Chains A and B, each alone.
Chain A
Amino acid sequence: MHGTVREKTNVVRATGTGTTSLSNGAGAAAVLAAGFGSFALGLIATLADKSAGIKSAMIFSKPTGPLSGVTTSAIVVWLIAWVLLHVRWHNRTVNLGRVGAAALVLLALGLLLTFPPFADLL
Chain B
Amino acid sequence: MEITTRGFWTLIHGMGFGALYLLACSGALVELYRRYAPAAEDAPAARDDWFMRIYLAAMAAVAWITVFTGAYIIYPWYRAVPPAGTASLAAFPQRLLMASSSTIGWHALGMEWKEHVAWLAPICITMAAAVVWQYGRELQRHPQLCRIVLSFVWIALFAGGVAGFFGAMINKNAPVEGGSTIHLMHGE
Contacts and interface: CB of A to CB of B under 8 A. Distances in A.
Interface of A: 20-22, 24, 26-28, 30-31, 33-34, 37-38, 41-42, 45, 61, 63-65, 67-68, 70-71, 74-75, 78, 96-97, 100, 103-104, 107, 110-111, 114-117
Interface of B: 67, 71-72, 75-76, 79, 108-109, 112-113, 115-117, 119-120, 123-124, 126-127, 130-131, 134-135, 138, 141-142, 144-145, 147-149, 151-152, 155, 158-159
Contact of A111 (B71, B109, B117): B117
Contacts, number: 105
A70 B75 CA distance: 14
B120 A114 contact: yes
Given A67-B71, A100-B148, 18 more contacts: A22-B135, A24-B145, A27-B149, A30-B127, A31-B127, A31-B145, A37-B123, A41-B119, A42-B116, A64-B76, A65-B79, A67-B75, A75-B123, A78-B123, A96-B142, A110-B120, A111-B159, A116-B108
Nearest to A46: B116
Q: B interface, by DSSP: helix, strand, loop or mixed?
A: helix
A26 B138 CA distance: 13
